[in-house]
Structure 1
Amino acid sequence: MCGIIGIVAGRDVAPLLVDSLKRLEYRGYDSAGIATLDGGALARRRAEGKLVNLENHLKDQPLPGVVGIGHTRWATHGKPVERNAHPHMTKRLAVVHNGIIENFAELRTSLQADGYVFETETDTEAVAHLVTREMDRGLPPIDAVKAALPQLQGAFALAIIFEGVEGLLIGARQGPPLAIGYGDGEMYLGSDAIALAPLTDMICYLEDGDWVVVRKSGATIYDAQNNEVKRAVQKVQSQEFLVSKGNHRHFMEKEIHEQPEVIGHTLAHYLDLSTGTVRQDVAELDFSKIDRLSMSACGTAYYAAAIGKYWFEQIARLPVDIDIASEFRYREMPLSKDTLAMFVSQSGETADTLASLRYCKSQGLKIASIVNVTTSTIARESDAVFPILAGPEIGVASTKAFTSQLTVMASLAVMAAKQRGVIDDAQERALVKQLSEVPRIANQVLKLEGEIEKICRELAQVKHVLYLGRGTSFPLAMEGALKLKEISYIHAEGYAAGELKHGPIALIDDSIPVIVIAPSDRLYEKTVSNMQEVAARGGRIILISDEEGAKNASVDTMATIVMPEMAEFITPLLYALPVQMLAYYTAVFMGTDVDQPRNLAKSVTVE
């Protein structure tokens, strides 16, 4: 998650760029840089580390110019050194980028074959050379960007300025957010409204797939099919810049849509996508010295840990015990000094989880935590801290924190497998490649929301819902049921699909929808048999599967949500999204307080 700012004005923009980057530094502080056009000539200044280093650089070497772009970086591809800092430049343009270009290696090979020389380890440099190649082939800047964008795979936000072309700034959004700011005789692009706060209160949010041509006089927006479109311009009150819903109705909706970007941000912390490896320096922890993992959490974090249990055991061959934190210390489990105790909490202040941590600490165990707030009590009392890097989550029902927790555990499972000698280099690269695809696929899944919204009109009329799943889809079924209960107040239960005939099948009739989470994996056929049991008793099935699974379901469904194809390893991360959207839109139709559901608090700090 990096920060982007772009300005087209009639005054020197460098001070404005730096001021906006200060507001975006929470999005990345590995390096920072700006580039401007002065008399048509491109120039840039970059600095490793925090933004103050760039400010000092600019004091020594000021950068004039009335058009410019700026960037504060959270490293994904390549080390956080000045060479890899944005903006990236060629003889024709400068570009800043937030996100992950999945096919950068293929693009790099193609561009190098055409004689383009790469100077960095980043995926962004492939974008710079790709647009440059289109210009070298005779296309003007706008057409060159239009030709280049379909060649990019991944989730990205871009801002580009061009040598010799003053007064032009081009932006594009495929996943990570990008906002246009409207000023008096000047225009702006920013990663979010916070960056634009000192410049304007008139904001327009690009939709997914949009790209925009920005000049001092205004902005022309095109959709993914290159049709000129209009997007609503809204006046944002100054206090909304601090915590804004953007163009979403609720914080929960906004946070659901932030997941492609947030997951990419988290992956960048734990994986080196340029080498296809897990970063071994994220914590001083050697899984080869651990015989067992004991995990404990509450609520949604517990279901994240339950999915993590499958990953650690299947990929790293590391046995895992998992407990609800409120019960863990009361069962007085025998603990070995060779066990790592791991605790999962969004806030890092969950009282039951903290009490369990202190019990394990009193038994002499090494403590690890997966938290969103690294200054929290749980983090401070841990030997190793793994931040989920989800950013502020305002909605009480956890969404992006849940998938960020899963992202961390998936990365750690690969790390543990490598350290324990369970997988080799090739297997590590394959698993890292699968994880790197999650932001792009998540972006595709979010496009199903219109279809899911229609299903929820009927869900909002029922009183009870069952969720079924096998393998990692079982904890996800429990999480789906929890989400529906939390915000719609509909009674819901999540079960292992194989348990259906051991009791819950007694509930099945035509009044209870059964939501089946069933990617077409090695467990799919067994889940189909459970669907047949439901169908035989008049149950109404909502199936969440991929195209192959939908085709082979062999039962009539009330609705089928067809997911993109993906590797089995990453299905929990991506199938979480339709589960969240089902709960969200059902609650919207029921008119409940989605962001602040009754009787619930964001952080439970009492036992």
Structure 2
Amino acid sequence: MCGIVGVIGKKNATQILLKGLEKLEYRGYDSAGIYVNDQAGHDHLIKRVGHISNLEEAVTPDVQGVMGIGHTRWATNGGPTEANAHPHVSNDERFYLVHNGVVTNANELKQQYLQDIELQSDTDTEVVVQLIALFAREGLSAKEALRKTLKMIQGSYAFSMVDRLDPTVLYVAKNKSPLLIGRGKGFNVVASDALAMLSETDQFVELKDQEIVTLTADAIHIETIDGKVEERKPFTVKVDDGEVSKGTYPFFMLKEIDEQPIVMRRLVEKYTDDHGNIVLPEDLLKALQQADRLYIVAAGTSYHAGLVGAPLFEQLAGIPTEVHVASEFAYHQPLLSKHPLFIFLTQSGETADIRQVLVSVKERGYQTLTITNVASSTLAREATFMLQLHGGPEIAVASTKAYTAQIAVEALVSKAVGEAKGLQAAKDFDVIHELGLAATGQQALIDQKDRIHELATDMFKTTRNAFYIGRGDDYYASMEAALKLKEISYVQAEGFAAGELKHGTIALIEKNTPVVAIISDPVTAARTRSNADEVQARGAKVLHIAMASQAQDGDQIVVDEINPLLAPLLTIIPAQLLAYFTSADRGYDVDRPRNLAKSVTVE
């Protein structure tokens, strides 16, 4: 969702901004814009709807500067138009502002202060920049006008602002929305995601909520909204440039599907010592042992990974575990146990709904663990503990390798806790061996791309709806499989507990309705297969994804044997590929599906 870049102190500011915005494309957007200033009386504001390539085409050679701000917008207040695109400018053309987040009291502020000002857009962001300009005209400095405005607005924000009267300063502020400062030699940058500016620097400074920052080419000044000066050292972000390149792949999603066996092996390497023992921070291990209940809080794909993780924690670590949708848990919390520990699953580490829960439970003194792919993210920094997925950058909006990495880390953690508690189930569960089997099995399925492509064509080429069914972990995998299909191919797909079909859903089955049955659980395999036969008898076209020990003649996809607790690590691979090929064959942008954002940074 919406991305911000900014730079001050570099002659090629225009190209830095454009390249930074390109790096943020994965977050999802519908328009983009930049403002650049050469600090010698010349400046340019350019905005375009659609892809960043449209913006790049509009940038002529004379658009040069040594400082500027840029933005990719995902429509919230107002539709995708040039007027609503960022940067927004005050009516006196003094202030230019980009914004991530949502100002919830924008209409009230507009009615109270801006009735005499004709707004040019439908956005909450323009209300903010017009307020800043209004207070500046009343005699406040640019920073004090910004400060006064920040104290009035409610909601979430990440701002970067330029005062045209003094373009030697870049103003930055944040609350709830992610934003980082990058430190360079003779220049400084700002970005929603470190990836956007890694070509310029690997040194970044964390910003906390309700802080104001003034950047010059040589200095970073951080203070609270009340004026208290803060000192903060930078941290280093290291990412291999090759990991954020598609290479020879047509889409990032296919590359990321293919990387999953590597991620499995990398996690074993990162979380074990030379003797094959799982290595976790001692204080984390102790906190998990003392917890009387775990609450896994997540959203979307991560929520589905949490559903798979709950049986792992219960059966291996002996800890009752609940899984909750973050956006619901944030405002409707259940009765909690006496000594809970909260686990937040998030690919980006910036999910706004999850952060709302984190803030709430921290205020109550509970311990928290974030499992994320981005060690420098907000949720990683603010939780009591953090474990990294080590998946490498995931650029495609539809998550693939983060899902399987989350399950693998949950397995490693639950095994370690169970062993520390002396539980036999954990001792008997050879997670290192099982993750090795997972890597091998994933590769075997990835190598069947051509066959799976044929099945995708047969099952989903023209359909408007589809169903995935399973029981236990197969049901959880069905939910994720359906999400993959719907989010990138726009097929109305649903994942159901197979036993629930006859309680209403089977009424939707008609001739050639695609149904994918996932069968890996030895306890319920026969029952799921019976449910598949029921829908087939009513005209459905059924595709079976079965584990080798449960497979029968005619099953189209057979996955290698693995412990049933980790079956989704394998059964999801063909489902990811089915979704990928369906979307690609329909001519869609697989990596950037409509209306979706990679990092959901507003509630």
TM-score in same-fold range (> 0.5): yes
Q: Which residue pairs with 1:492 in the alignment?
A: 493
The answer as to whether partners of 2:547 and 2:561 remain within 8 angstroms in 1 is yes
Q: Which residue pairs with 1:191 in the alignment?
A: none
The correspondence for 1:578, drawn from 574, 581, 584, is 574
Identity %: 40
CA distance in structure 2 between the partners assigned to 1:605 and 1:344 by the alignment: 15
The answer as to whether partners of 2:445 and 2:574 remain within 8 angstroms in 1 is yes
Q: Which residue pairs with 2:404 in the alignment?
A: 403
**Cα shift readout 1:203-257 (whole Å, capped 9, x = no counterpart):** xxxxxxxxxxxxxxxxxxxxxxxxxxxxxxxxxxxx9957321221111000100
The correspondence for 1:563, drawn from 530, 539, 559, is 559
- Report matched runs for 1:458-469 at 5 Å: 458=458, 459-469=460-470
Match of 2:249, SS state, is coil
**1:421 Cα deviation (Å)?**
2.3
C-alpha spacing 1:346/1:508, structure 2 compared with 1 (3 Å)? same
Q: Which residue pairs with 1:588 in the alignment?
A: 584
CA distance in structure 2 between the partners assigned to 1:520 and 1:370 by the alignment: 27
CA distance in structure 2 between the partners assigned to 1:318 and 1:524 by the alignment: 27
CA distance in structure 1 between the partners assigned to 2:557 and 2:511 by the alignment: 20
Q: Which amino acid aligns with 1:494?
A: G
**1:578 Cα deviation (Å)?**
0.8
- Report matched runs for 1:370-409 at 5 Å: 370-409=371-410
C-alpha spacing 1:368/1:300, structure 2 compared with 1 (3 Å)? same
Q: Which residue pairs with 2:599 in the alignment?
A: 603
Q: Which residue pairs with 1:455 in the alignment?
A: 455
CA distance in structure 1 between the partners assigned to 2:501 and 2:425 by the alignment: 39
Q: Which residue pairs with 1:188 in the alignment?
A: none
**1:485 Cα deviation (Å)?**
0.7
C-alpha spacing 1:326/1:433, structure 2 compared with 1 (3 Å)? same
**Cα shift readout 1:97-118 (whole Å, capped 9, x = no counterpart):** xxxxxxxxxxxxxxxxxxxxxx
C-alpha spacing 1:586/1:570, structure 2 compared with 1 (3 Å)? same
CA distance in structure 1 between the partners assigned to 2:409 and 2:243 by the alignment: 27
Match of 2:591, SS state, is coil
Q: Which residue pairs with 2:279 in the alignment?
A: 279
Q: Which residue pairs with 2:96 in the alignment?
A: none
Match of 1:278, SS state, is coil
**1:566 Cα deviation (Å)?**
2.5
C-alpha spacing 1:383/1:337, structure 2 compared with 1 (3 Å)? farther
C-alpha spacing 1:453/1:277, structure 2 compared with 1 (3 Å)? same
C-alpha spacing 1:487/1:427, structure 2 compared with 1 (3 Å)? same
Q: Which residue pairs with 1:255 in the alignment?
A: 256
CA distance in structure 2 between the partners assigned to 1:269 and 1:448 by the alignment: 29
Higher deviation after alignment, 587-596 or 335-344: 335-344
The answer as to whether partners of 1:480 and 1:579 remain within 8 angstroms in 2 is yes
The answer as to whether partners of 2:415 and 2:426 remain within 8 angstroms in 1 is no
Q: Which amino acid aligns with 2:563?
A: A
**1:548 Cα deviation (Å)?**
4.0
Q: Which residue pairs with 1:432 in the alignment?
A: 432
The answer as to whether partners of 1:255 and 1:400 remain within 8 angstroms in 2 is yes
Q: Which amino acid aligns with 2:437?
A: E
**1:282 Cα deviation (Å)?**
7.1
CA distance in structure 2 between the partners assigned to 1:510 and 1:414 by the alignment: 45
Q: Which residue pairs with 1:525 in the alignment?
A: 526
Q: Which residue pairs with 2:137 in the alignment?
A: none
Q: Which residue pairs with 2:366 in the alignment?
A: 365
- Report matched runs for 1:63-82 at 5 Å: none
The answer as to whether partners of 1:303 and 1:475 remain within 8 angstroms in 2 is yes
CA distance in structure 2 between the partners assigned to 1:282 and 1:478 by the alignment: 35
The answer as to whether partners of 2:298 and 2:325 remain within 8 angstroms in 1 is yes
CA distance in structure 2 between the partners assigned to 1:262 and 1:313 by the alignment: 25
CA distance in structure 2 between the partners assigned to 1:378 and 1:332 by the alignment: 19
Q: Which amino acid aligns with 1:437?
A: L
| Structure 1: stretches of 5+ with no match in the other structure | 1-196, 198-238
The answer as to whether partners of 2:326 and 2:354 remain within 8 angstroms in 1 is yes
The answer as to whether partners of 2:418 and 2:426 remain within 8 angstroms in 1 is no
The answer as to whether partners of 1:308 and 1:409 remain within 8 angstroms in 2 is yes
The answer as to whether partners of 1:283 and 1:385 remain within 8 angstroms in 2 is no
**1:336 Cα deviation (Å)?**
3.4
CA distance in structure 2 between the partners assigned to 1:323 and 1:444 by the alignment: 33
- Report matched runs for 1:322-341 at 5 Å: 322-341=323-342
**Cα shift readout 1:143-170 (whole Å, capped 9, x = no counterpart):** xxxxxxxxxxxxxxxxxxxxxxxxxxxx
**Cα shift readout 1:301-335 (whole Å, capped 9, x = no counterpart):** 11011110121112222111111000002213222
Paired residue total? 363
**1:435 Cα deviation (Å)?**
2.1
CA distance in structure 1 between the partners assigned to 2:330 and 2:431 by the alignment: 35
**1:386 Cα deviation (Å)?**
0.9
**1:422 Cα deviation (Å)?**
1.7
- Report matched runs for 1:115-130 at 5 Å: none
CA distance in structure 1 between the partners assigned to 2:500 and 2:582 by the alignment: 26
CA distance in structure 1 between the partners assigned to 2:299 and 2:514 by the alignment: 27
**Cα shift readout 1:515-552 (whole Å, capped 9, x = no counterpart):** 11112522211211211211221211110013443317
- Report matched runs for 1:195-344 at 5 Å: 243-272=244-273, 274-281=274-281, 284-286=284-286, 287-344=288-345
CA distance in structure 2 between the partners assigned to 1:383 and 1:487 by the alignment: 35
**1:433 Cα deviation (Å)?**
1.8
TM-score by length of 2: 0.58
CA distance in structure 1 between the partners assigned to 2:516 and 2:282 by the alignment: 38
Is 1:539 matched with 2:535?
A: no
C-alpha spacing 1:590/1:363, structure 2 compared with 1 (3 Å)? same
CA distance in structure 2 between the partners assigned to 1:485 and 1:471 by the alignment: 22
CA distance in structure 2 between the partners assigned to 1:495 and 1:259 by the alignment: 25
Q: Which residue pairs with 1:474 in the alignment?
A: 475
**Cα shift readout 1:266-308 (whole Å, capped 9, x = no counterpart):** 2222234x53432243763322211100111111011011110
Q: Which amino acid aligns with 2:265?
A: G
Match of 1:522, SS state, is coil
CA distance in structure 2 between the partners assigned to 1:333 and 1:426 by the alignment: 33
CA distance in structure 1 between the partners assigned to 2:550 and 2:277 by the alignment: 31
CA distance in structure 1 between the partners assigned to 2:407 and 2:526 by the alignment: 26
**1:470 Cα deviation (Å)?**
0.9
- Report matched runs for 1:103-114 at 5 Å: none
Match of 1:551, SS state, is coil
The answer as to whether partners of 1:271 and 1:411 remain within 8 angstroms in 2 is no
The answer as to whether partners of 1:473 and 1:572 remain within 8 angstroms in 2 is yes
Q: Which residue pairs with 2:35 in the alignment?
A: none
C-alpha spacing 1:275/1:395, structure 2 compared with 1 (3 Å)? same
Match of 1:342, SS state, is strand
